[in-house]
C-alpha cells in the first residue's frame, strides 16, 4: 500500500487517511479499519486514481455516507474512496444540478425553502444524492426514479458519460447501478415542480413527527433492513415471528419498528449481521417469504 500512498501524494489526488475506522464512516457505527480512505479533489483526480487502482489490481470501493453499508469487523485490504468534494449545487428554476456527495436531507430542505415540490419524501433519508440514486431510495410512495432526469457517471473505462432516466432501470429500491457496479455516480440533474412552500413545509414536518414516533432515530442504524415484499410489510412479518425487541450481542431489533436493527450497546458488525440473517431466516421458515436485504454487506 506504500506505493499507492506515494501515488496519492505525488499526484495530489486529495486528502487521505490510513487505517480509517469504518465505525466512523457508517451510520451503524460498526466496522473494522480500511487500509486507505481517500477523498479525491475533483473528477480528474478521481479518474487518475481509479486508473492506477485498476492497473495494479488493487481492491477499491466508492462509498457515500455509509447509511446502507455494513462493513465487517475485519480490515478492508484496499482503498475506499469518498466523494465528499463532489458537493456542487446549481439551481435553475425547477432544475437542480447536484454533485454525488450532496446530502439528500439538505437538498430536500433547500427545495422546500425555494417552494419546489417532489423531494418531500427524502427529508428523512440520511444518504447522499449518489447513494440514493444507487439504491433508488424512497418513502411515502415516491423515490429518486420519479425526479432524476439524468446522471453523470464514470463508466468502466473511466470516461465521463451521461445516462438518462430511461437508461437507469429504476424500480422499487433498485437501479441500473446495483447491477453495474463499475459505474460511479458523480452528479445528477433532478427536476422538481413549483409548489406551495407552506404546504411543502407542513408535509415535511408531519412526516418528521411520524418518523420520530415510529422509528428508533435515537440509535445508530441504517434505516429499513428489508424491502417490503409485495402486498406485505417486512416489519409486520418480523414482529409476527416474535422478534420485535429481540437482542443479539449489542444489536437489537427495534421495539419501535421491527424492520430496524439498532446498535444499542456497542454492537459488533457480526452482531448486526447475525441478527439480520436470523430475522430473514425466521420469516422464511414461518411464512416461506424470502425477505430481500436492502443493506449491503462489505468485506465479509
Cell of 197: 412552500
Q: Which of 224, 254, 264, 280 is catalytic?
A: 224
CA distances from 168 to 50, 146, 189 (A): 23, 11, 13
Q: Which of 52, 150, 264, 294 is catalytic?
A: 294
Measured in whole angstroms, how far is the alpha carbon of residue 91 from the centre of its chain? 23
pLDDT digits (tens, 9 = 90+) for 127-144: 999 999 999 999 888 999
Q: Which of 173, 207, 211, 227 is catalytic?
A: 173
Write phi, then psi, for 43 (nearest 5 degrees). -65, -35
The answer on pLDDT for 70 being more than 90 is: yes
The reported pLDDT for the residue numbered 62 is 96
The answer on pLDDT for 225 being more than 90 is: yes
The whole-angstrom separation of Cα 119 and Cα 113 is 12
Active site residue 218: no
The answer on pLDDT for 59 being more than 90 is: yes
The reported pLDDT for the residue numbered 212 is 87
The whole-angstrom separation of Cα 109 and Cα 95 is 15
251 close to 271: Cβ distance less than 8 angstroms: yes
Mean pLDDT of the chain: 96
The reported pLDDT for the residue numbered 193 is 98
With 0-12 CB in 10 A as exposed, 13-18 as middle and 19+ as buried, what is 186?
buried
Q: Which helix or strand (DSSP H or E) is residue 200 part of?
A: helix 197-214
Active site residue 142: no
The whole-angstrom separation of Cα 109 and Cα 27 is 21
The reported pLDDT for the residue numbered 97 is 98
pLDDT (average), residues 57-67: 94
Confidence of residue 167 (pLDDT cuts 50, 70, 90): very high
CB atoms within 10 A of CB 93: 10
- Local structure of 228: helix, strand or coil: coil
pLDDT (average), residues 175-199: 97
The reported pLDDT for the residue numbered 1 is 80
pLDDT digits (tens, 9 = 90+) for 36-52: 999 999 999 999 999 99
The whole-angstrom separation of Cα 27 and Cα 68 is 8
The reported pLDDT for the residue numbered 2 is 82
The reported pLDDT for the residue numbered 91 is 98
| DSSP code per residue over 283-297 | HHHHH---PPB-SEE
pLDDT digits (tens, 9 = 90+) for 18-36: 999 999 999 999 999 999 9
Confidence of residue 99 (pLDDT cuts 50, 70, 90): very high
Active site residue 207: no
The length of the chain is 300
Q: Which domains does the chain have, with CATH numbers?
A: 2-82 (3.30.43.10), 89-199 (3.30.465.10), 217-298 (3.90.78.10)
Q: Which helix or strand (DSSP H or E) is residue 34 part of?
A: strand 33-40
CB atoms within 10 A of CB 228: 18
Amino acid at each position: 500500500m506504500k506505493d499507492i500512498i506515494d501515488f496519492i501524494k505525488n499526484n495530489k489526488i486529495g486528502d487521505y487517511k490510513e487505517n480509517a475506522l469504518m465505525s466512523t464512516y457508517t451510520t451503524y457505527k460498526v466496522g473494522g479499519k480500511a487500509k486507505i480512505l481517500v477523498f479525491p479533489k475533483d473528477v480528474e483526480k478521481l479518474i487518475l486514481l481509479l486508473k492506477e487502482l485498476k492497473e495494479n489490481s488493487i481492491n477499491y470501493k466508492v462509498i457515500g455516507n455509509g447509511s446502507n453499508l455494513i462493513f465487517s469487523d475485519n480490515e478492508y485490504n484496499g482503498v475506499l474512496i469518498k466523494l465528499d468534494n463532489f458537493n456542487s449545487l446549481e439551481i435553475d428554476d425547477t432544475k437542480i444540478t447536484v454533485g454525488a456527495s450532496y446530502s439528500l436531507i439538505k437538498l430536500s430542505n433547500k427545495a422546500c425553502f425555494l417552494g419546489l415540490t417532489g423531494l418531500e419524501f427524502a427529508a428523512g433519508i440520511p444518504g447522499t444524492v449518489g447513494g440514493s440514486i444507487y439504491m433508488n431510495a424512497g418513502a411515502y410512495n415516491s423515490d429518486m426514479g420519479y425526479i432524476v432526469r439524468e446522471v453523470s457517471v464514470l463508466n468502466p473505462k473511466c470516461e465521463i458519460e451521461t445516462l438518462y432516466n430511461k437508461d437507469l432501470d429504476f424500480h422499487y429500491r433498485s437501479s441500473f447501478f446495483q447491477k453495474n457496479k463499475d459505474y460511479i455516480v458523480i452528479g445528477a440533474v433532478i427536476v422538481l415542480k413549483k409548489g406551495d412552500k407552506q404546504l411543502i413545509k407542513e408535509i415535511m414536518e408531519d412526516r418528521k413527527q411520524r418518523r420520530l414516533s415510529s422509528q428508533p432515530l435515537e440509535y445508530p442504524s441504517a434505516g429499513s433492513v428489508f424491502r417490503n415484499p409485495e402486498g406485505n410489510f417486512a416489519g409486520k412479518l418480523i414482529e409476527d415471528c416474535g422478534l420485535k425487541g429481540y437482542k443479539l450481542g449489542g444489536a437489537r431489533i427495534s421495539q419501535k419498528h421491527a424492520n430496524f436493527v439498532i446498535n444499542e450497546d456497542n454492537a459488533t458488525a457480526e452482531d448486526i449481521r447475525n441478527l439480520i440473517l436470523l430475522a430473514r431466516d425466521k420469516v422464511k421458515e414461518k411464512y416461506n417469504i424470502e425477505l430481500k436485504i436492502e443493506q449491503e454487506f462489505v468485506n465479509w
